[in-house]
Amino acid sequence: MSFAYGVGVLLLLILLALPLGVALGMAGVISLYFTIPVGSIMALTSKVVHSTTASTLLMTIPMFVLMSEFLASSGVAQDLLLSCNRAMRKLRGGLAMACILAGTVHAAATGSSTASAASLARASFPAMTKAGYAPSFSVGTIATAGTLAIMVPPSVAFILFGIMTETSIGRLFLAGVIPGLLTCVGYMITISITLWLKPSLGPSKEQEAEAANFTVEEGRGSLWPMLALITVVLGGLYTGVATPTEIAALGALGAFLIALYGRRMNTRRFADAVGGTMRISSMIIIIVFGAHIFGYFISFSRITDTLLTWIGQSGLPPTAVMLGVVFLYLIMGMIMDQAAILILTAPISTALMVGLGYDPIWWGVVIIKSAEIGMITPPLGLVTFVTSSATGTDLKESFKGVMPFALGELVILSLLLLFPSLSLWLAYMQ
């Protein structure tokens, strides 16, 4: 009963348009007031602020966000598209596939889906329109390519999941590598099948090859700086020579050097990147504060123990429970922000799945994949909104364009559920 009351207070505050972090904190304090003494509430809130700000893991968030901002300001997405287009231009749908490849490489050095989608939109949409792709299909391709940043490490979503569930962020990053590459291949197959079923969505192979031969200034379109940065980030994580926090700082420095190397960093862009990092990081950290306070209320309400007891008495097999929770995540992804979903539900669902015998690393990948699907599907579809806005495309047409990719995502999610080793092999190789 107390849990339902606390959730009701939280939903009311969210409906009143309070920022998520403030709503979480206020709901937690109000709900705790009816659960424990006032003095204990004061002690808990002080503990949350100190333990959160003293956590070195939390520093990974602003560092990876700063890395993303530096890369966005350096125009690296266009370089990636040019490089990938050289390899894919002879294929039917090659430019769309090049956008997916560019999104995969971009994701491996950003961690932010919205930032990745916005950068790819500026680089890819004009080229795809010139090549003869339908605007809806172009937006669908760009939006789905942007979502790869939530799965391919370093991912801010994995960092949030690791912080909220006290799971190894290094292992989570490694667990996302194979699912991320599998998603990339799945997107390319989706492009091929979609253009085969509906050729009007794209140009012929000859038209595309001719239109995609856009010229660039000398020195543009090189993959080597980005590949070097990715090697440093993922190599450092895999070998364990540095902590995730140290790797994040090195990644931010590397992104800054790439921008300098390309002669695309100036005082204004540097200030914009730092300012954007401060805004995004402050928002996330406030949400983490509030989520920890609300998390204490959840602990005192014993909702996880109650759920496990109910499931045990219901006779439902663990697989049925797991599939039911995944279905709820897919539904929530359509109507809620993915960061809010992770912060509000990850501690409860992870404890529940671990209690049923599932691996928390694998479950983290499943949650992130479900969130990835939610980022493009209506009615919320944050990344689709961002891409539609950045390209000036009608929102209804944009959502129509992502539907083939959403179906492909469900197939990939099914593979991750059927074969947990796809997520766990790299994570536990050490």
List C-alpha distances in Å: 366 to 68, 145, 175, 413, 417. 24, 18, 11, 7, 7
Per-residue model confidence (pLDDT) at position 56: 67
Q: pTM higher than 0.85 for the full model? A: no
List C-alpha distances in Å: 212 to 42, 91, 192, 416. 62, 11, 17, 35
Per-residue model confidence (pLDDT) at position 376: 85
The candidate with the shortest Cα–Cα distance to 361, out of 77, 171, 170, 155, is 171
What does the pLDDT look like over 94-150, one tens digit per residue? 888 888 888 888 777 666 676 677 777 777 788 788 778 889 999 999 889 888 888
Domains: count for the chain:
1
The candidate with the shortest Cα–Cα distance to 160, out of 345, 10, 20, is 345
DSSP 1: -
Q: Which domain holds residue 378?
A: 2-427
- The 3-class SS string of 335-363 reads HCCHHHHHHHHHHHHHHHHHHCCCCHHHH
What does the pLDDT look like over 183-220, one tens digit per residue? 999 999 999 999 999 988 888 766 666 655 543 343 45
176 or 40, which is more confident? 176
| Exposure class string for 404-418: b at 16+ Cβ within 10 A, else e | bbbebbeebbeebbe
Per-residue model confidence (pLDDT) at position 219: 40
d(CA 404, CA 381): 15
Q: If residue 18 lies in a helix (H) or strand (E), which one and from where to where?
A: none
163-167, 227-231, 260-264, 280-284: range with highest mean pLDDT: 163-167
Please state, rounded to an integer, the average pLDDT across all residues of the chain: 79
Position 338 confidence tier, pLDDT thresholds 50, 70, 90: confident
- Residue 153, preceding peptide bond in cis (omega within 30° of 0): no
DSSP 57: G
Per-residue model confidence (pLDDT) at position 217: 41
